[in-house]
Structure 1
């Protein structure tokens, strides 16, 4: 046994249970200008310690690979000859001092560190002239944490980390670890059980059944979207057009001839961006991009919050995709999931053997419907994890907005729970006060740090002030999905036209609350799965009527107050429900109705973005007024949209297949009017019934207006008229 080191400490190191491995391994003062160097190298045949020009062969003190050498005092390297005879020369990980600064520790404990990705995870660095990788992970209750990976044969004895007790963070710098190295954290939890955990801060990761994290250089990419970013910082989203195309990258289009594989980020940039640009959408909203093991979760059960999924490429390739969107004038919104996370053993669940990220009590910490865990929003470090993650996407990937998934499930302690299955807050109520505080801080921080971006709430209840400022008592989101409009409108549209007069109020009800929030009208992925049917199949009638109804509905939606979102496939009337494991039905373009519907969406986007009346006052009562909201017998709706500069358009919706000849509609000014859009036009595969070539206003007061015009209303159609 060693003449320099206690046997008990050597055995503790060999068993990876030494309480402070940095105090034992590495170089330690031995007096008279000498040092003893101790190293654990279980796969080495020989170890030499190099100090300056002197090479000292270390003694193999223990057969399991413990070596030590007495050398002159000074900086040193290890020359390691493996059992296979390969020799490498590296600095010793245990020769480096503390890595994380006191300020980092303080702000992390406080929950206000806004760049946690710079501190935790795996970061390629050069320390004291030595290239390698710094690893750090939060696991305050673990007995031991080691970094294991390709370079150390996944042996947790070799790179045991230093525990920074002041914050519960483990850290180590490992020389020689390079980009694309696979790694995990081997955690001996508070109960003494060992498990392999993926890095919560990994920026690149495997997906599916393979769950390693990968080292990646995040400092290499050079952006080319400076013009977009400068304009974005000054953009007033509330008074600008916003028309989003929601897409699931794995199923938008696939390569059927190549085993039905999905497209890469590069291929999507080549194909999807021009498609969206041609259709005139202002934004792409991307479903579930953060790394997730299960394809069937659609990206909503996340294990790698800081890693864009490797299904389609590496982080820089996703950056290039966003960059090219911006160069094409298209904003990018990501779906973000701070409401819950899966129980996968390699993920966040019971990370150090305790409920670290989640609540311990299942009445607070589990989503029974989804089989997932709920973040503990009241814990500073957890709140910091989530807010820094939001900032990470906005900063490191130039994302223009985050759509926060399942906000209602975060707001209510009794969400989808029966009596006795939830715990009231300290005031006795059902509101999740910690989640509310988290959301307010999230929105305040993101808007302060990244002006021109937006945070959008998918919130399905009548919670007040979701998109009102935090300073005014609101939650501070920029926009809220209008789920009420969606449900009422789809229910109305599903009615046979002969019965619609009995459901007229369902179609007008949304205007009662239309300006209570900054709403986005959504026809999202959730409406075309799980037996709900595709949009075209929700429409009543024969084939012609189904397409006419959908054309009418889309045109009505684009003319209605509120920003817009349409899920992929809806724009050309896909018959099948959406499937995450297949492609959209692009072969449908053999039919003129599908091409016509797609052309209509293109024209709607052009009209919406070019006419201020249709977008400038989406969230202001002064931008809308009814001409006639009560013509239930004829199922006709007439309203006006207007802008501050006087731009006005008149919208007429005929929700029956009966042509309405000589329909008089009020207008505010004398002069001639024209048809800006007719959803029944031949170009859209409509019947071609025209409202007329032009309309001269008559001095006949009507519908509260001093003038009026007479038009023919096509069947199952929306007309947009203007000067």
Structure 2
């Protein structure tokens, strides 16, 4: 028989090297002896025979090669026709499939244009794996970016993981590859097989846009429909923008899902998203937290990375269930008026072979130059923020979590490492920018674009920067030259405060500036005050164990520290376990020590946090002007000998205020004189030394202010100041 293809093309189809399989396989019009005919070609390596089924009629195809290429010429047909393929395999039963090469491209010109420009902020709507029905045929549409690849195939259980069967169509201008594969559906595992320019053995990569992944140590992506979940959070979503405004109380409970609580006697004993939500939400509601912040929940291969070394940016990790399970978690939080913030990691990504690194054989997502492309400290790759593919990928990812999962905030990890080209590098290990400076211009532009995009698409969503340097304008609008974040983590306050509080009270008088220095810059940004997971690992000790003194003093110091955090301008964040006084450092491999709540002192500490959260919500003075100098006034900062400081917090209404007095020594002060704005009766809103919290119950139940200038105020009070304790007072109305 005379075949319609040359030996060279036949061989290239057989060995998978042909650059445009859609021009060969499927149904095509050809000329034979000057006459138009149709030829149908199929490549099925597993087949002993292939038969075309057209309108219930069967036409057997002829084998063109021993590797599985078949064809048939239809001489009397002038129009294209729909067909299926009946395959008799060498092993197993006969089956019928719809040919993937029957279908034209499903990507719109608009998507291609936006992708090419680097402006596709919802690329997840067409990239990745999406289940469609085309011409009455159900299947999955696959799209991936791999500009430098010479061939990209979808491999999976549905084709015996053979990269020759479902080779994709390439859009050369944009570097995008595409194919619609009939019959591939929910739960099917897949990867991309990518042949590199060097013609090395093909790479096998997980889908960068996969919405679900195989449980580690498996690395395959899984076809999943994420569009059918029925949300019940309409009330929250409608009011979110108001609840998350700068003048609202925000108190954040940071947690690691895999170690908050575990199932007893099971390995690894993870609660899934639903089980965690059912236990966590009542707990947080009772404690009065407004938000929960999750350490990264995107797919990652290595548990001890805590989720910060990601391979699947669009997939909630399968450790804790399905994407719908995570939707349930968010939904459950929202129904209880608890916002959900997730840690987002655009600073770097994991080097694992199935991930983004060298995705198409080149530095597609990362810089090729290790001086720009590698984080030696973390053993990860740095994104190349100047590439359109990276901007599309990362900004789409941020929008995706807000869109599909209703998350309310994104905390961006390691922003400092993004801003500076010489971050954690010695001389000669980094490359200056085009102006000779150390600033990463592309990363700065990216961060501004990220914040503008998130705030444009989701005005109620808030963004946080974990930024540890003195970079100016992190939480200022991009139009004024800022980075556009809503809040910046106040790492300076955290470090200075912990350094101070860990000192023996006897020596604190020599270091009072560490306690008060933060007020010099407290209103230069919109700050969050964090005592995060980073402060209770790697031999830093737990929050309780950091405190000096005996057990009584440790608890008293920690209660005082927490009251100080809530009284200080800024929103509050505390890592799980710190609310009840975990003695041991946090470990991702085990549950928190919940048994400690059998002891009254741990119960008292937890009750203090509950009351602080309640007070923070109730008292406008503690939250309305967190980022405004009008909300704060020192009363006395000079009594270093007694390690006592006092100040006023005001609401937008300046007559609505509270007085805060903090004693950082274990000495009780009787008749201690403090200036206050006006005379009259004052009530004690909070005394961290209360017996209810495990304290000694020192202090006054009734406080009367007399006219008489003191500390620059018009009136004064003479009160008992409890040991290692804080007081919050308010005039009685």
What is the deviation of 1:218? 1.7
1: CA distance between counterparts of 2:359 and 2:379?
17
Corresponding residue for 2:140? 133
1:606 is aligned to 614
* Aligned residue in 2 for 1:303: 311
- In the TM superposition, what whole-angstrom CA distance separates every residue of 1:118-145 from its partner, at most 9, and x where no partner exists? 1211111111221100001100111111
Alignment TM-score, normalising by the size of structure 1: 0.98
Pairing of 1:487-502 with structure 2 (within 5 A): 487-502=495-510
1:349 Cα offset (Å): 0.6
Write the deviation string for residues 359-414 of structure 1: whole angstroms up to 9, x where unpaired.
11111111111111111111122111111111111111111110000000000011
Counterpart residue number, 1:290: 298
- State the Cα distance separating 1:260 from its structure 2 match: 4.8
The answer to whether residue 449 in structure 2 is matched with residue 446 in structure 1 is: no
- Shift of the alpha carbon at 1:259? 3.4
Aligned residue among 205, 225, 229 for 2:233: 225
CA deviations on 1:334-357 (whole Å, 9 max, x unpaired) are 100000112111111111111111
Question: Distance in 2 between the 1:706 and 1:303 partners?
Answer: 61
Separation of aligned partners in 1, 2:175 and 2:517: 53
The Cα shift of 1:312 comes to 0.3
For structure 1, which segment, 5-14 or 520-529, has the greater mean C-alpha deviation from structure 2 after superposition? 5-14
Partner secondary structure for residue 258 of structure 1: coil
Q: Is the Cα–Cα contact under 8 Å of residues 242 and 564 in structure 1 kept in the other structure?
A: yes
Q: Distance in 2 between matches of 1:527 and 1:344?
A: 28
Aligned 8 A contact 1:614 1:642 in 2: yes
Displacement of 1:164 after TM fit? 0.9
Deviations 1:468-511 (A, max 9, x none): 11111111111000000000000000110011101111000000
How far apart are residue 630 of structure 1 and its match?
1.0
Give runs of aligned pairs for residues 476-491 of structure 1, distance below 5 A.
Answer: 476-491=484-499
2:54 is equivalent to residue 51 of structure 1: yes
Match of 1:29 in 2: 29
Distance 1:259 1:385 in 2: 35
1:262 aligns with 2:270: yes
Partner residue, 2:197: 190
Question: Of the candidates 39, 45, 60, which is equivalent to residue 42 of structure 1?
Answer: 45
Query: Which of the residues 440, 465, 477 maps onto 1:432?
Result: 440
| SS of corresponding position for 1:233 | helix
Aligned residue runs from structure 1 range 464-479, under 5 A: 464-479=472-487
Question: 1:273 deviation in Å?
Answer: 1.2
**In structure 1, how many angstroms separate the alpha carbons of the residues matched to 2:407 and 2:304?**
25
Shift in Å, 1:654: 0.7
Partner of 1:350: 358
Larger displacement relative to structure 2 (298-307 or 69-78): 69-78
Aligned to 1:363: 371
Measured in 2, the distance between the counterparts of 1:36 and 1:85 equals 28
1:682 aligned partner: 691
Q: Are 1:277 and 1:328, in contact at CA under 8 Å, matched by a contact in 2?
A: yes
DSSP 3-state at the match of 2:554: helix
The residue matched to 1:461 in structure 2 has which SS?
coil
Asked if structure 1 preserves the Cα contact closer than 8 Å seen for 2:418 and 2:440, the reply is yes
Q: Classify the secondary structure of the residue corresponding to 1:170.
A: strand
Equivalent residue number for residue 380 of structure 2: 372
* Whole-angstrom distance in 2 between the partners of 1:507 and 1:3: 85
Greater displacement, 393-402 / 48-57: 48-57
C-alpha deviation, 1:33, in angstroms: 7.7
| Separation in structure 2 between the aligned mates of residue 314 and residue 34 of structure 1, nearest angstrom | 49
Aligned twin of 1:545: 553
Given that 2:139 and 2:184 are in contact with CA atoms closer than 8 Å, whether structure 1 keeps it comes out as yes
Task: Give the RMSD, CA atoms, in angstroms.
Answer: 1.3
In the alignment, the residues of structure 1 paired with residue 607 and residue 352 of structure 2 have an alpha-carbon distance, to the nearest angstrom, of 44
- Judge conservation of contact 1:207–1:292 (CA < 8 Å) in 2: no
Extract unaligned runs of 5+ from structure 2. none
Partner of residue 68 from structure 2, selected from 65, 69, 77: 65
The number of equivalent residue pairs is 722
- Distance (Å, rounded) in 2 between the aligned partners of 1:336 and 1:494: 31
Q: 1:88 aligns with which of 83, 95, 98?
A: 95
- Paired residue for 1:653? 662
Whether the 8 Å contact between 2:154 and 2:193 is mirrored in structure 1 is yes
Give the aligned partner of residue 415 of structure 2: 407
Cα displacement string for residues 269-288 of structure 1 (whole angstroms, at most 9, x for unaligned residues):
11011111111110000001
**SS of the residue aligned with 1:600?**
helix
Give the structure 2 partner of residue 461 of structure 1: 469
Are the equivalent residues in 1 in contact too, given 2:206–2:219 (CA < 8 A)?
Answer: yes
Secondary structure, aligned partner of 2:27: strand
Residues of 2 paired with 1:588 and 1:572: CA distance?
8
- The answer on whether the counterparts of 1:596 and 1:683 sit within 8 Å (CA) in structure 2 is yes
Distance 2:633 2:132 in 1: 61
Q: By how many angstroms is 1:208 displaced? A: 2.5
Residues 1:250 and 2:258 aligned together: yes
> What is the Cα deviation at residue 84 of structure 1?
3.8
- Find the aligned partners of 1:203 and 1:565 in 2 and give their Cα distance: 29
Superposed counterparts of 1:560-599, under 5 Å: 560-599=568-607
Structure 1 residue 334 corresponds to structure 2 residue 342: yes
Counting only pairs closer than 5 Å after superposition, residues 140-219 of structure 1 correspond to structure 2 as 140-193=147-200, 194-219=202-227
* Partner of residue 124, structure 1: 131
CA, structure 1 residues 702+165, in 2 after alignment: closer, same or farther (shift >3 Å)? Answer: same
**2:323 matches 1:320:** no
**CA–CA distance in structure 2, aligned partners of residues 35 and 53 of structure 1:** 18
| CA distance, structure 2, for counterparts of residue 138 and residue 596 of structure 1 | 55
The aligned counterpart of 2:108 is: 101
Compared with structure 1, are the counterparts of its residues 77 and 674 closer, same or farther at alpha carbon in structure 2 (3 Å cutoff)? Answer: same
**Aligned-residue offset at 1:54:** 1.6
Q: Which runs of 5+ in 1 are unaligned?
A: none
Give the stretch that moved more between structures: 648-657 or 45-54. Answer: 45-54
| 1:29 positional shift | 2.0
Q: Secondary structure at the match of 1:632?
A: coil
User: Secondary structure, in 3 states, of the residue corresponding to 1:254?
Assistant: coil
Deviates more, 1:2-11 or 1:699-708: 2-11
Question: How big is the shift at 1:44?
Answer: 2.1
Distance in 2 of aligned mates of 1:18 and 1:655: 75
Give the corresponding residue for 2:651.
643
Shift of 1:109: 1.2
Query: CA 1:265/1:424 → structure 2, altered by over 3 Å: closer, same or farther?
Result: same
Q: 1:557 Cα deviation (Å)?
A: 0.6
Q: Conserved in 2, the CA contact under 8 Å of 1:2 and 1:61?
A: no
Residue matched to 2:4: 4
Contact 2:244 2:462 in 1 (8 A): no
